[in-house]
Amino acid sequence: MKSVAWMMDVVKEVGAAQCGALSFDALRPLMSERAQARAAALCPQPAGVLVGAFPYFNGHRVGNVSLYARGLDYHLGVSRRLQRACQQLKEQVPSHTFVSAVDASPLPERAAALLSGIGKLGNHGLVICEPYGSYVFLGAILTSYPIFYKAKPVERCVGCQNCVRACPSGALSLKDGQVFFDGSRCLSHITQTKREPTEEERAQLCEHPYIWGCDLCQLACPENHKAAISPLTDLTGQEKAAPYMSQLTPEMLEGLEEASFQEKFGNRAFAWRGLQILKRNFEIQLHKRPRMDGY
């Protein structure tokens, strides 16, 4: 019988800075019946979860694209790495199922990371994982292999509230000593939404330094001030397929239709919502009323 420690080492070998493990039963109370059914459809008799933190930080450089979106789309990069890990695990334990999960999965990945003990929860709602701060992508492997690790107490940041003060939209707020997050007010969300922005949101976008995403709460976090540079060259934009890109301009989108936009930028995280969202954001920042054709 293979040790769980060996399995975590496999996840680290494909790029995870930290890897944790816990029983699938530890996550059940946090999952809806529908999510549990989806998990069982992916992995019959789910019994364990391996969760890894994949760093993406490549330094602070001026740009209008969020730090996480300057290299290869993490859905592609992290998925490929986890699929390699699944293949290695399957070769050694062929009688069990191993399925990778990144973002669009039934697993509560953030909760899995925290309960497995690989990082602590920041007031900005992100997982802080040494030595990369909160500049990590989370990915998981759902398996039928029995893992009996129990959930660990969730560790939290020191609570300096720098992130609350840095948030210009009020997405982070402090009440009775606790920080609350309103995702609908988050500027990262607003830069990605397909609905017509409200007048308040339009005014916020006009002042926002990003055309896609937002890093303001992370930049204010002291846990990130000495974040290490990630060695994962695909996620940091050090590979030819998706070279580092910190700045988008209207001219880079000029003359593109959706198909040509996807051909040019489809392996970037900022492309998933499509061309028109980025054009709309540029038009708002240029103080023009955006056309919402096709919305």
Count the Cβ atoms, other than its own, within 10 Å of residue 197: 17
70: left (phi over 0), alpha (psi -120 to 50) or beta: alpha
Residue entry with tokens 């893992």: 147
Which residue in the list 25, 103, 182, 293 is annotated as catalytic? Answer: 103
d(CA 189, CA 183): 7
Q: Which of 101, 103, 121, 102 is nearest to 111 (CA)?
A: 121
CA atoms within 13 A on the CB side of 62: 0
Active-site annotation holds for 25: no
Q: Quickly tell me which residue has 């994982």 as its tokens.
A: 129
User: If we measure between CA atoms, which residue out of 264, 213, 214, 258 comes closest to residue 242?
Assistant: 264
d(CA 46, CA 172): 35
Positions marked catalytic: 103
